[in-house]
Amino acid sequence: MTRVSYVEKGQADPAIREMFQRIEDRGQPILNLFKVMANCPHIGRNFMRLGYSILTGEEVPAAIRELAILRVGVLAQSRYEVTQHIAIGLKCGVWQKQIDDLAKWSGSKEFNDKERAVLQYTDEVAQNIKVTDETFAVLKQYFSDHAIVELTTTIGYYGMVCRILVGLQIDIEGGEKA
Question: Domains along the chain?
Answer: 9-56 (no CATH), 62-167 (1.20.1290.10)
SS (H, E, C) 108-153: CCCCCHHHHHHHHHHHHHHHHCCCCHHHHHHHHCCCCHHHHHHHHH
Per-residue pLDDT of the chain (178 residues; tens, 9 = 90+): 899 999 999 999 999 999 999 999 999 999 999 999 999 999 999 999 999 999 999 999 999 999 999 999 999 999 999 999 999 999 999 999 999 999 999 999 999 999 999 999 999 999 999 999 999 999 999 999 999 999 999 999 999 999 999 999 999 997 654 4
Q: In the prediction, which pLDDT does 174 show?
A: 79
